[in-house]
Structure 1
Amino acid sequence: MLNRRNVLQGIAAGAGLSLLPEALLASPKSSSPATSGSPKRIVFFLQNQGFDPATCIPSEMTTSGSLAKAQLPEPIQALEPYKERLHIISGLHGLHTSPSHSAFFGALGGFRGGDGTPPSAATIDYELSKVLPPTLLPHLCIGMDSMENMTSKPTIATLSASGAGQPIFMHSNPNHLYQMLYGGISTGDIRQQHEARSNVLNQIERLAAAKGESLPVGDKERYGQFVQGFKDVNGLRDRLDTVAAHLQKFAPKVDERYTKPQFETDWHDCLLDLGISALAAGITNTLTIGSGRGEIFGAWKGLGIEQQGHNLGHMQQPGNPIWIKIRQYNTRMLVRIMEALEGVPEGSGTMMDNTLIVYTSNNADKQHTSGANWPVMLLGNCGGIFKTGCFTRLDGKRPINALYATLLRAAGQNVERFNMTEQLARKFDNQTGPLQEVLA
């Protein structure tokens, strides 16, 4: 049954799509040539509570080398058939981000983060979304958490930002996200809810624009950003309506996991389906997934794990059956993304041939960490741009910012650094430019 409360519930989610003024990179562009070729889409998958390197590095590998004859550890065993596409990296650092429980925006921004600390610049996922091939919705963020948290806070902003003080909201209620992406091609209750919500959003945009005219200049500018959020949502809906026939081929089937989830993992799976469909349909070019939503919580009762929240971060991850289950669940999700994109032709190959997946944590290697080691896994080579099938052990002297600068370089941007001033670089980065160990 439709009522005003149901219609307004999803408004905050839509407003979070606002991509306001563009942020500048922290250092000038260099004149060095860009890497040939470029990715067409990128997926960031961040698991909270840390990513212990022992859970991803083959035990027999003590130095950099090929993964061909190595056996992947149990937590990432699902990637064994795909290890020729895998690059495991250990030895990047995030000392300057203050990760501890979480670096929050600093994890993807490469700047000082913290609970309640607003972003000081744009994050790498947003910056990439601007330079990758244009799509209807360049950047989509989804967040997975406990059922209670996803229900009470269907949107939250902790990981991504379009600039200083401009967080980007992630979606945690698959029903709201489905309406946003596919409401225009739906029938029955979903279509009614979509149309009712659309009417409300249009009215709010008009009223908000009119009411803001009498505000003082400073308040008027901030209010204008709020109004722009509604314009962006309404504009996205109109753009999606123009490709309705195309979207019909990719919209996931709505089942009881959406409306009657038994466990929070039902919603996790639905959110992943929606994220994959948005990539496959060409709705977005950048997908950010926050398992634990960048905070210290999270629950996986659907995996048979009764413990949840902060306590999970105080458990040793290597050899821990709980963390083996969580990491295996993550890697099965990575496989689902790869297999889905492999099934969609693109050029002379498939969408996966032109996709990079970046898997890491929002607080380096563990809870209460200094960030001295920030493990990362890359999947995909984007037409030979990135090295794969290997493990790289770095010396801990280059920051995660160097990886992000490398991704921008691969996307055709001639940057030497990302969100790092010369002064900060003198203290936390012993080189300039991209990670040559990552590029082919």
Structure 2
Amino acid sequence: MTMRRRNFLRGACGVAVALPFLESLNWRRFIKTARAAEPGGKRLVVFFMCNGVNMETFFPAAPGPLTAASLMGTSIEPLADYAGKLLIPRGMHMVPKGWGQDADTPGDDHAKGMGHKLTAEALDPNTLYARGISVDQRAAQELNKDGSPSMTLSVGWRHTNVLGHISYAGNNTPVTPEGNPWLTYQDLMGLGGLDEMVKMQIATRRQSVLDLVEEEFKALKAKNLSQADTLKLEMHADSIRDLEIDMVGNGLIECALDPARAAEIEAIDPNSVQEDWQFKTIGLMQLDVLAMAIACGATSVGSIQWASGSGGPIYKWDGMNHEFNHHKLSHGNTKDDNSGEEVAGYLEMLTQIDRWHAEQYRHLLDRLSSYTEGDGTVLDNSAVVWLNELSDGKAHSYLDLPVIIAGSAGGYLKQGQYIDLIGGQDPWVQTHPHNRLLITLLNAVGCTDDGGPVTQFGRAGLEQGEYAELRA
């Protein structure tokens, strides 16, 4: 599929149609319009997995060039086809730190893992929400044309407190993610306020945009318009029809999901979207909608949060038949408070869960790669970063964070490399704070600070500046 900057119908994802200003009616718009971003720029996407990983099986055997062979046998083996487009930096520690290492940072390690990871800011002692903006929302302020927020999505059941939020619009301002892909899709397609028949016509793209508003055009023509307004209306209708023909003739993408996929999303039971048995289905739908929104310019920034901190589903699909939820398995215990018995084989189960999430991450990369622009793909112009709440979940560890970045953000980041930032030292040396990763990501996608590169983000007083080791 090919995408170009021009020849898009104005409106969310190219669907809404703005009527010309008609002086005799003082008419401004009749369907929601607002493009948040232009396609073709740099994008930032956060793929966030709660709890920890099996650190023994997650990473390749040794730092160096990444190949399909070097990923074999690891939890991230499903990413083998993308080995040349991956960057795996290792050795970073979270800031503010966990385990009570920073005395002025309230909250337990799960709360810190959720609230600190995208903000690099401490939690408020009264609310336990982060005291700063998150990297996704900071990037959206600059990259989205109208400064609109980052698309913020979730999958599965969530806590309503800090454990259910990773994205922040500012100090003590958590952004609640949308967990229902149909609601997200309706918003993207400008369907709010329309009747169900029109919603499905637009969502499935089964007829011309002009056909959908034919009755509105007729109603306007029936009014006592001036000759000038009548001419404007007719010219506007002609231009839309010509634009549609041009788009089809030039093979430009339609910024909507396949009709069958859109129908599946529309058929979701809203009462079941957070249930475990829907976890995979809803997750894939959210990824499809997110990829479409990123590719079509509805937003340049998005995040998807899988489940909740100190929580998670019981995995009973794709060959997994677990008895305990993700949080319990991350501790290897039958009780959330560790008062139970050890779960036999829990490390193997964690590897299964990590591998399954790698498959979902690959699905996102597949979708972004399916949109071509210029000499590359949307993925090539993006930084798609996989982050985790914790590293070793059993230890609640904030050290040696699992991080994977796919895409070079238009050539800014290295690719096909597994880099040990601390050179084999013990992670306890804590020389590489993760706020510098966030700074690197902001610079990679073109964010600035007073016209220059971003040098500070997150907690003040830490070593600032990006990681030059990650630059191409």
TM-score normalized by structure 1?
A: 0.68
For 2:297 and 2:258, locate their aligned partners in 1 and report how far apart those are by CA, in whole Å: 10
Q: Deviations over 1:254-295 (max 9, x none)?
A: 327723775332222222222222222221111111112344
Q: 2:456 aligns with which of 376, 399, 417?
A: 417
Query: Which residue is 1:227 aligned to?
Result: none
Q: Deviations over 1:202-237 (max 9, x none)?
A: xxxxxxxxxxxxxxxxxxxxxxxxxxxxxxxxxxxx
Taking only the aligned residue pairs, the percentage that are identical comes to 22
Q: Deviations over 1:157-182 (max 9, x none)?
A: 51110110111110112233233233
Query: Which residue is 1:142 aligned to?
Result: 153
For 1:190 and 1:91, locate their aligned partners in 2 and report how far apart those are by CA, in whole Å: 52
Query: Which residue is 1:352 aligned to?
Result: 379
Deviation at 1:308, TM superposition (A): 1.3
Q: Deviations over 1:20-41 (max 9, x none)?
A: xxxxxxxxxxxxxxxxxx9611
Q: Deviations over 1:381-422 (max 9, x none)?
A: 123211111111122411110101111222242222211212
Q: 1:399 aligns with which of 433, 436, 440?
A: 433
Query: Which residue is 1:214 aligned to?
Result: none
Q: Does 1:43 align with 2:45?
A: yes
Q: Does 1:385 align with 2:412?
A: yes
The one-letter amino acid paired with 1:419 is: G
**Contact preservation (8 Å) 1:250, 1:281:** no
For 1:351 and 1:40, locate their aligned partners in 2 and report how far apart those are by CA, in whole Å: 8
Q: Does 1:265 align with 2:292?
A: no
- Structure 2: gaps spanning 5 or more residues: 1-39, 99-107, 203-239, 245-253, 333-342, 423-429
Query: Which residue is 1:188 aligned to?
Result: 196
Q: Does 1:312 align with 2:322?
A: no
The one-letter amino acid paired with 1:438 is: L
Residue 177 and residue 293 in structure 1: after superposition, are their counterparts in 2 closer, same or farther (change >3 A)?
Answer: farther
For 1:52 and 1:417, locate their aligned partners in 2 and report how far apart those are by CA, in whole Å: 32
Residue 294 and residue 283 in structure 1: after superposition, are their counterparts in 2 closer, same or farther (change >3 A)?
Answer: farther
Query: Which residue is 1:67 aligned to?
Result: 66
For 1:105 and 1:354, locate their aligned partners in 2 and report how far apart those are by CA, in whole Å: 28
Q: 1:342 aligns with which of 366, 369, 373?
A: 369
For 2:348 and 2:312, locate their aligned partners in 1 and report how far apart those are by CA, in whole Å: 18
Deviation at 1:368, TM superposition (A): 4.1
**Contact preservation (8 Å) 1:405, 1:418:** yes
Deviation at 1:95, TM superposition (A): 5.0
Query: Which residue is 2:398 aligned to?
Result: 371
For 1:283 and 1:88, locate their aligned partners in 2 and report how far apart those are by CA, in whole Å: 28
Question: Which one has a bigger Cα radius of gyration?
Answer: 2
Q: How many residues align?
A: 339
Q: 1:128 aligns with which of 139, 149, 162?
A: 139
Query: Which residue is 2:83 aligned to?
Result: 83
Query: Which residue is 1:283 aligned to?
Result: 298
Deviation at 1:309, TM superposition (A): 4.7
Query: Which residue is 1:100 aligned to?
Result: 109
The one-letter amino acid paired with 2:121 is: F
Query: Which residue is 1:219 aligned to?
Result: none
The one-letter amino acid paired with 1:362 is: E
For 1:189 and 1:331, locate their aligned partners in 2 and report how far apart those are by CA, in whole Å: 38
Q: Which has the higher strand share?
A: 1
Residue 96 and residue 156 in structure 1: after superposition, are their counterparts in 2 closer, same or farther (change >3 A)?
Answer: closer
**Contact preservation (8 Å) 2:386, 2:405:** yes
For 2:397 and 2:347, locate their aligned partners in 1 and report how far apart those are by CA, in whole Å: 22
For 2:147 and 2:186, locate their aligned partners in 1 and report how far apart those are by CA, in whole Å: 16
The one-letter amino acid paired with 1:284 is: T
Q: Which has the higher helix share?
A: 1
Q: Does 1:434 align with 2:461?
A: no
**Contact preservation (8 Å) 2:59, 2:76:** no
Q: Does 1:253 align with 2:262?
A: yes
The one-letter amino acid paired with 1:436 is: A
**Contact preservation (8 Å) 1:139, 1:284:** yes
Q: 2:388 aligns with which of 361, 364, 369?
A: 361
The one-letter amino acid paired with 2:436 is: A
For 2:413 and 2:156, locate their aligned partners in 1 and report how far apart those are by CA, in whole Å: 32
- Structure 1: gaps spanning 5 or more residues: 1-37, 195-241
**Contact preservation (8 Å) 1:365, 1:375:** no
> Mean alpha-carbon deviation: is it higher for 107-116 or for 47-56?
107-116
Query: Which residue is 1:58 aligned to?
Result: 60
For 2:56 and 2:469, locate their aligned partners in 1 and report how far apart those are by CA, in whole Å: 20
For 1:40 and 1:270, locate their aligned partners in 2 and report how far apart those are by CA, in whole Å: 23
**Contact preservation (8 Å) 2:152, 2:304:** yes
